[in-house]
Structure 1
Amino acid sequence: MAAQSLSSLLQRATIDDHEEVLQSCNAALAKSKSDLHAQHIKAVALLKLDRYEDCLRVFEEAGDGLKKRAALEYAYALYKCGQLDPAIEVVSRVAGERGALHLEAQASYRSEKFRRAAEIYEELSKGDVSLSNEENDLRINSWATDAQLQWKGYPQFVRHNRPMRDDLEAFETVYNAACLSIAKGEFQQGQVLLTRAKELCRTSEDLTPEDRAAELLPIAVQQLYVLLRQGKSEEAQSVLEEISVSDIPELSTKKIAQTNITLARGTTTTNPFALYKALHEIPDSTDSDKLFEYQDNLATGNSYAADLLVQKYDGIIRSTSKALAQAAYPSTEPRANLLSVYNAAAHARGETGTKALKRILSALDKRPKDLGLALTAVQLYVGAGNTTSAITTLERTLQLLDESISEQDKAVRFNPGLLSILVSLYKLEGRKVQIRTELAKAATYWQAQAAEPPASLLRAAGASLLHSSDRSDLAKAGDLFKSLYQKDTTDQFAVAGYVASQATLDYSKVEAQVDTLPSVADLISGVNIASLENAGISPSSAANAAAAAAMAGARKRSAKDKEDRATKRVRKDRLPKDYDPSKTPDPERWLPLRDRSSYRPKGRKGKQRAAERTQGGVVNEKAEESPAPPTQKAQGGGGGGGSSKKNKKKGKR
């Protein structure tokens, strides 16, 4: 009866006051706590009132029946409470609803699963737009997702390039397009788009004055960042006056604004303690309003950099060590390695060069698989011009990972980014064989994994193996290029590599592919041969490294110094006074005196010494007497007895 009375009441009345709806639901539930219909309406009313935690509590108390009936509302409550992964899991089971896809895309965006969010928006844009203002929302959100993909390091999945006419009509779309340009490093284009977004927002008739002021604040914060990156300090000061940090409701935006304002005011160079205070004024954001990972890493780096400037070394070591103890070890995650770098800087205690390196190496001995510490030591070695020690340090860490039986350690060992550092170091010393060996091992590992192997690594491995004269290496290169071609039949690099690898092994296999390659004439049609001849041959990286090492620390005199320098007097040859050029010099004059044929030692004559050694000769009785034991010389300052003064030998002066 309670459900029927509530349903009939809602059908007959139009209630815009959600508090009144909530009161009616509570009255119905007081009579019947298991009224599923009333529970559903109560959950919707709480969502309308932005009471998301209370709404989530209703779902938990009601049980699985309400969660299945109102799965979309339940997923939305989870999303607003910051429980993103459970929200995605729930909403992904709701089939056939565009609203559910929108919610899944939003939750994926906030959980930084940008590729999935982009796929959903692409799917929604291809379907029939049925919701009001949905087309505009799709345009805004797809631009925002592309900007995050660019920031995250996935430019190959970005769908937008330049904004079209329709994209320049709403300030939200223009703002997101500006963010994409900033992520690409196109600050001039970003500044133009931010200026347009600000003007569109100011002249918008759909916004109240309060909403307009709230929307202008993040635009100004982003504009301040762009001006700082361009070095336009005067324009940055004018934008600085438009920003009131206290008026920004979101903690994440407030923290970014505070950082940019601090940098714009030049606090970093004047007073490090003021910088430390300014960066720690804004509290960390909550789960429902937190920075993205790349933003949080930058904020963490700024905070630790300020700690280093005020010499809080022990505090940095404690906090980073505690965080590293809870993180995966070893790890290629940016945050974990960032903490390792600042941990190493704190151990160095403001020292640089060899002194810092000694302390960092001692910390590396305790955590030998810590990539952040290892790469910090490598960087210091490279900065000092000691590439060999840098290679040895990195190889030692990789060897420990190689000997491990953990799958996680193996994945870290053959991480493409880590291998690129090692290959770059090898190139500095011209170690082509080691480069080929490392890339071949990495390609073998990734081909055996279930996940898709990184194409860039397979390309590098295949190109390196082509320089080998071993037939097995050429066959391996052919397999790599063949797998690349099977994934992308338009990949001309893969076709050329496959032809090059098989041409000397079995030309009949690649005879058909040769015709698909561009001719040599087409490849060199745009090359200016005259300019190449005039430019000369560029030295290799190994030659550059050797020249840099030879010139390191050398002081070169200027041409003026050479002219002003006094001419050195040539010394005349000095000859002995009794030198006679007509006589032949002694050929043994360069030998030591004892080694010359004319040498005669001083002492007894030869016959007398021979007689003494002859058996049956006259015995010298005095010589047969046993000599008195020698008197030991006293050490230290004891008083001496009466030895005769004339028996003493005078010391050398």
Structure 2
Amino acid sequence: MPAQSLSSLLQRATIDDHEEVLASANATLAKSKNDLHAQHVKVVALSKLDRYEDSLRVFEEGGDTLKKTAALEYAYALYKCGRLDEAIDFVTRFASGRGASHLEAQASYRAEKFRRTADLYEELSRDGALLANEENDLRINSWATDAQLQWKGYPEAVRHARPTRDDLEAFETVLNAACLSIAKGEFAQGEMLLKRAKELCRTSEDLTPEDRAAELLPIAVQQLYVLIKQGKSDEAGSILNEISVYDIPELSTRKIAQNNIVLARQMGTNPYLLYKTLHETPDTPDSDKLFDFQNNIMIGNSYTASLLVQKYDGIIRSTSKTLSHSNYPTTEPSVNLLSVYNAAAHAQDQNGGKSLKRILPLLERRPKDLGLLLTVVQLYVSGGNTTSAITTLEKSLQILEESISEQDKDVRFNPGLLGVLISLYKLEGRKVQIRTELSKAATYWRERGEPPISLLRAAGASLLHSSDWADLGLSAGLFKALYQNDTNDRFAIAGYVASQATVDYAKVESQVDQLPQVKDLISGIDVATLEKAGISSSPATAAAAAAAIAGARKRPAGGKEGRAKKRIRKSRLPKDYDPNKTPDPERWLPLRDRSTYRPKGRKGKQRAAERMQGGVVNEKREESPVTTQKAQGGGGASSKKKKKGKR
């Protein structure tokens, strides 16, 4: 049969067996190697058979013509092989339509570009005419994206709050909603949703028994994590019976399950068994790799187990090899985590000053290594030496500030690193340094494209307390920028009003009306309940405040009678104390000085007469000690001569 006729036959064929389709395409290509349609059919068949590496080889042999003709299929093969950035780049340049948007969203999700993923799903959800067959998938994927945004640290970008009735109809949506609750730290809510997801999965009529068992395993793994976090060891033990680790097809899920099982069974008592168990699961391929926040935890657990079995040299070699290819400074958690374990391996289970003695030389060689820097700072703080912690941190930050690299400057004013420095300043009460650092950081970030909002808010609030007009002007500028960014941000409005009210009230008069009234803010406060709960001002504080308001200090009316009687503790009173008797007013004087004192004996009476006013004066007693000493001879020496004796 001519190749052209076979190609026409393939176009009209409706073969369901992908192996047969692949065989037919190979037969055509054996006769006509450059048949574009047969090549297209072949790469589709290979993708249907999950042979994505083979599909990519066919694309490479077919050249750019085949890639552009089957742009969506080529990008999909790249995505399935873990070449995510290439897939995103190709599909955005050479493919179009809803299929291309779905593929870009999937690749962006795996590449942890969750903001872009969320935007794509929102755009796909807007077209109601084409949404009918995709609504359920879009709902499931958008919930999963929100969960990842929360884990990644972008809670402001999360679009979902609580699941609706429609969200609770499919177990996939309920599972993803549970993941979002877990990411927020709402473990009780997450546990409840996981139970709902398990129930829906077990009763689903759309799943075969094999598919049902495969879907229940990840839910059980997630349940185990939630129960461990809540400290419910008994319930966690019952979930362990539902998890068969080696029946989980995805290596990433299997690795997480193995880790959680180890924690649930508390294998840490035997470090060698812990080390062996954690390393039983092989590393995941690029097409099934863990997300960064998961991978960092796994790496940390692995190195911790290695430290427990004293594999110090192995940790130093493996971490040093990776760190040697890293660019310093960096805020990437994966790199800084390796620096921490590298330092721990050098310390070799030493603490305090001994560990610092071994780690400080490393910091001298790598002053821009943030993981190592923060480790040293933490050791100083743990030992109560806050001053040395500040000095060490300031030294590295000074090196970054003097650098001409933009990356170094970005790290120098990184909000997280700056937060550590300010926390240390607070411990020592260095208010001026806090304002200085926040002012420098705010000035730097205002010149950048996307300044961190949290840092600008903290800087603006701190500078409001300064008496320097330059600081107040900067604070006003920060709050004005925050207000222009979000006109509904009451924090920004309040800060802007506070910074401008004393300078030019007319500027902020319109914004004052947007702030809530004081009476509205305190309307729900029950003062009586607060006082009963123990939140009340002391009488002394209240009296001082009243006197300050009146402008003068006044004694209570009625003199001494108006004063509050001081209460005396029983432990201060004598055993024979009688409250009905008036105490002796001379009780604080020495016994011989009291009016009731009567000396006994001849000598006692003589001494009393001498002290009596108008009594006889003894002139010898009135002589000064110095005069007496002079009369007796210099220095009070004896007048008798010493006997001669042997010298």
TM-score by length of 2: 0.81
- Which residue of 1 is the match for residue 491 of structure 2? 493
CA contact (8 A) 1:2 1:28 kept: no
- Which residue of 1 is the match for residue 512 of structure 2? 514
How much has 1:503 moved relative to structure 2?
Answer: 2.3
- Which residue of 2 is the match for residue 31 of structure 1? 31
CA contact (8 A) 1:471 1:505 kept: no
- Which residue of 2 is the match for residue 297 of structure 1? 296
Measured in 1, the distance between the counterparts of 2:66 and 2:465 equals 66
- Which residue of 2 is the match for residue 255 of structure 1? 255
Output aligned runs, 1:98-137, within 5 Å: 98-128=98-128, 130=130, 133-137=133-137
Output aligned runs, 1:11-410, within 5 Å: 11-94=11-94, 96-128=96-128, 130=130, 133-268=133-268, 270-410=269-409
- Which residue of 2 is the match for residue 434 of structure 1? 433
Deviation string 1:241-277 (CA, Å, 9 cap, x unpaired) is: 1111111111111111111111111111x20111011
Using a 3 Å threshold, how does the CA distance of structure 1 residues 2 and 59 change in structure 2: closer, same or farther? farther
Between 66-75 and 519-528, the greater mean CA deviation after superposition: 519-528
CA contact (8 A) 1:313 1:347 kept: yes
How much has 1:536 moved relative to structure 2?
Answer: 5.6
Deviation string 1:131-175 (CA, Å, 9 cap, x unpaired) is: 774111111111111111111111111111111111111111111
- Which residue of 2 is the match for residue 626 of structure 1? none
* Structure 2 residue identity aligned to 1:83: R
How much has 1:439 moved relative to structure 2?
Answer: 0.5
CA contact (8 A) 1:2 1:32 kept: no
Measured in 2, the distance between the counterparts of 1:530 and 1:12 equals 85
- 5+ residue gaps in structure 2? 539-619, 638-647
Using a 3 Å threshold, how does the CA distance of structure 1 residues 531 and 424 change in structure 2: closer, same or farther? farther
Deviation string 1:422-445 (CA, Å, 9 cap, x unpaired) is: 111111222111111001100111
Using a 3 Å threshold, how does the CA distance of structure 1 residues 501 and 25 change in structure 2: closer, same or farther? same
How much has 1:516 moved relative to structure 2?
Answer: 2.8
CA contact (8 A) 2:72 2:100 kept: yes
Measured in 1, the distance between the counterparts of 2:344 and 2:50 equals 45
Deviation string 1:455-495 (CA, Å, 9 cap, x unpaired) is: 11111111111111221211111111111111111122222
Using a 3 Å threshold, how does the CA distance of structure 1 residues 119 and 259 change in structure 2: closer, same or farther? same
CA contact (8 A) 1:78 1:87 kept: yes
CA contact (8 A) 2:125 2:131 kept: no
CA contact (8 A) 1:129 1:135 kept: no
How much has 1:3 moved relative to structure 2?
Answer: 6.2
Measured in 2, the distance between the counterparts of 1:599 and 1:329 equals 83
Deviation string 1:160-192 (CA, Å, 9 cap, x unpaired) is: 111111111111111111111111111111111
Measured in 1, the distance between the counterparts of 2:528 and 2:336 equals 48
- Which residue of 2 is the match for residue 634 of structure 1? none
Over the matched positions of the two proteins, sequence identity in percent amounts to 74
Measured in 2, the distance between the counterparts of 1:497 and 1:6 equals 76
Measured in 2, the distance between the counterparts of 1:244 and 1:518 equals 57
Measured in 2, the distance between the counterparts of 1:32 and 1:131 equals 41
Measured in 2, the distance between the counterparts of 1:64 and 1:452 equals 38
Using a 3 Å threshold, how does the CA distance of structure 1 residues 391 and 585 change in structure 2: closer, same or farther? farther
Measured in 1, the distance between the counterparts of 2:477 and 2:378 equals 35
Deviation string 1:339-371 (CA, Å, 9 cap, x unpaired) is: 111112112211122222222223222212211
Using a 3 Å threshold, how does the CA distance of structure 1 residues 365 and 28 change in structure 2: closer, same or farther? same
* Structure 1 residue identity aligned to 2:447: A
- Which residue of 2 is the match for residue 545 of structure 1? none
Measured in 2, the distance between the counterparts of 1:22 and 1:131 equals 33
What is the aligned counterpart of 2:475 among 474, 477, 487? Answer: 477
Deviation string 1:306-336 (CA, Å, 9 cap, x unpaired) is: 0111111122122111111111211111111
Between 361-370 and 293-302, the greater mean CA deviation after superposition: 361-370
- Which residue of 2 is the match for residue 603 of structure 1? none
Measured in 1, the distance between the counterparts of 2:625 and 2:386 equals 54
Secondary structure (helix, strand or coil) at the match of 1:508 reads helix
* Structure 1 residue identity aligned to 2:433: Q
CA contact (8 A) 1:285 1:291 kept: yes
Using a 3 Å threshold, how does the CA distance of structure 1 residues 248 and 499 change in structure 2: closer, same or farther? same
Measured in 1, the distance between the counterparts of 2:360 and 2:529 equals 49
Secondary structure (helix, strand or coil) at the match of 1:249 reads coil
CA contact (8 A) 1:426 1:432 kept: yes
Between 413-422 and 41-50, the greater mean CA deviation after superposition: 41-50
Secondary structure (helix, strand or coil) at the match of 1:326 reads coil
Measured in 1, the distance between the counterparts of 2:527 and 2:338 equals 51
How much has 1:111 moved relative to structure 2?
Answer: 0.5
CA contact (8 A) 1:2 1:35 kept: no
Measured in 1, the distance between the counterparts of 2:415 and 2:10 equals 61
Deviation string 1:560-602 (CA, Å, 9 cap, x unpaired) is: xxxxxxxxxxxxxxxxxxxx98664459x9xxxxxxx9799xx
Secondary structure (helix, strand or coil) at the match of 1:163 reads coil
Secondary structure (helix, strand or coil) at the match of 2:349 reads coil
Using a 3 Å threshold, how does the CA distance of structure 1 residues 95 and 282 change in structure 2: closer, same or farther? closer
Between 196-205 and 274-283, the greater mean CA deviation after superposition: 196-205
Equivalenced residue count is 549
